[in-house]
Amino acid sequence: MTEREAIMLMQTMTRAMTLGRPHKLLDVPGFPMELQPLAASLNRLSADTGECYGFAQAMAGGSLDACPPARANCLSAPLKELQSQLTSLCWSMGQLAQGRMVSKLHCPGGLFEAYNTLVEKESQALGGQSQEAPAWDGPANSWRYHQILSAINQLHIMVLEVSPDGQIVFANPPALEALDGMDRLPYDRPEPYEKEALIGYLCTFSQDRGDLERSELRSGRFPVLYELFDPDADSWYKITTDTVRLADGSMGLLHMIDDISERKRYERQLELSVMTDPLTGAYTRKAGAKKLEELFGQRFVYSNCVAFVDVDDLKVINDRHGHTEGDFALCTVTDVLMGCVRKADWVVRYGGDEFLVFFMDCDVRTAGDIVARMFQRMEAVNQQGGKPYHISFSAGLSLITEEMAEVSDLIQVIDRAMYQDKLRKKKYPVCTSCPTQG
């Protein structure tokens, strides 16, 4: 392509762009070397212009949620700003149409001036006569009240203002959704509600107008801070309750309710990660020791059993087949133990190849049946595994009795019972192992 032909193609393209007509992009590699940068720039300008034109056309057609041009489009900044302004205006007008408080929008132009005038008129309708928002050190007025309500309405937490007799004086949108249209708290509660635990808690506060500092849940001064779990909704709430002076001069209650379920689930995950052995997935020795102290303290009330489990010949597996296979054997035993216990029971990695199993609220006979099932499951796994070694374990079992003075007494009993089981298997290797009660 000659230089003259290239210039003519670029002139044709710019003329079409100026008139808003469709055109083809330039074939940059076919241009003379010195004109290729200019041709590439024209192609970029053409693409950016077309993208902005399509975006502007979509907004003009009412599609405020249209996908904006790419970040690299240097022409799109004013259009993106316009989209943001119009989206805010549209949302605010929708809130205004629903009778909710909204803020002024600080954008230039007659459209936004008209909107701000409308907001100002609504603010005056609340009872004040202020035409402009005063300085922060000025007197309280309708505009200040309007701004505060607007901020509260945009909070994600629930804000609820209640009179002593249960009348709901104010509720922001999240609270309205949670209350599902209630206009008062049902102190008599003749029927169940969806958020039974939350509504029940709010109803526990005093109904006595003369003594709002008394509460069935807490005696003392306000504010009352409380974390509530709702089992039906599987949700946690952080609730702050304080007294507030209502418009008629009486004292009411202000509840601020934050759904902290996600935070609680995250804390639980962190707690479990600390309590869980990273290799086997069983509880750690530290977590097990704490739980064992708790069970030991309940020995006069509940029947709890503990089994001591030791993996047989783990050192032989490590020496002959490597530590990877040794880890596999440990994890296999853990899977067998955890697959046989009940939901409330605990499997604890007590040492390198030692485990404790806590049987909660369980008699010795039932616990013994579960341990026997563990041995049977282990044999089935060996038959299906195809490993060049045999995985097995020995176990000792005992009830936590009232005669045991310390936890160490229990450990001694089940440790001795476990070694008796190990010795019996060495003496009678073909005999199926069974749990031994200390």
Model pLDDT, residue 127 = 46
Model pLDDT, residue 138 = 45
53, two tokens: 């034109």
The three-state (H, E, C) secondary structure of 51-74, written as one string: HHHHHHHHHHCCCCCCCCCCCCCC
Sort strands 436-437 and 393-399 into parallel, antiparallel or unpaired. parallel
Using CA atoms, how far apart are residues 423 and 367, in angstroms rounded to an integer? Answer: 22
pLDDT tens digit sequence for 269-303:
887 778 899 899 999 999 999 999 999 998 888 89
3-state secondary structure of 187: coil
The CATH homologous superfamily to which domain 276-437 belongs is: Reverse transcriptase/Diguanylate cyclase domain (3.30.70.270)
pLDDT tens digit sequence for 41-86:
888 888 888 888 888 888 888 888 888 887 777 787 888 878 877 8
pLDDT, average across residues 171-200: 75
The 8-class DSSP code of residue 28 comes to: G
Model pLDDT, residue 57 = 86
Using CA atoms, how far apart are residues 69 and 49, in angstroms rounded to an integer? Answer: 10
Residues whose CB falls within 8 Å of the CB of residue 162, separated by 6 or more in sequence, listed in order: 168, 169, 185, 202, 252, 253, 254, 255
The CATH homologous superfamily to which domain 155-264 belongs is: PAS domain (3.30.450.20)
Using CA atoms, how far apart are residues 116 and 307, in angstroms rounded to an integer? Answer: 74
Model pLDDT, residue 59 = 86
> Are the CB atoms for 104 and 96 separated by under 8 Å?
no
On whether the pTM is more than 0.85, the answer is: no
Residues whose CB falls within 8 Å of the CB of residue 293, separated by 6 or more in sequence, listed in order: 407
> Are the CB atoms for 435 and 305 separated by under 8 Å?
no
In angstroms, the Cα distances linking 425 to 248, 316, 337, 419, 433 are 84, 17, 19, 10, 7
Among residues 232, 240, 237, 242, the alpha carbon closest in space to that of 258 is found at 237
Model pLDDT, residue 159 = 92
The 8-class DSSP code of residue 2 comes to: -
Residue with tokens 């996908």: 67
CB count, 10 Å around CB of 408? 9
60, two tokens: 């003009």
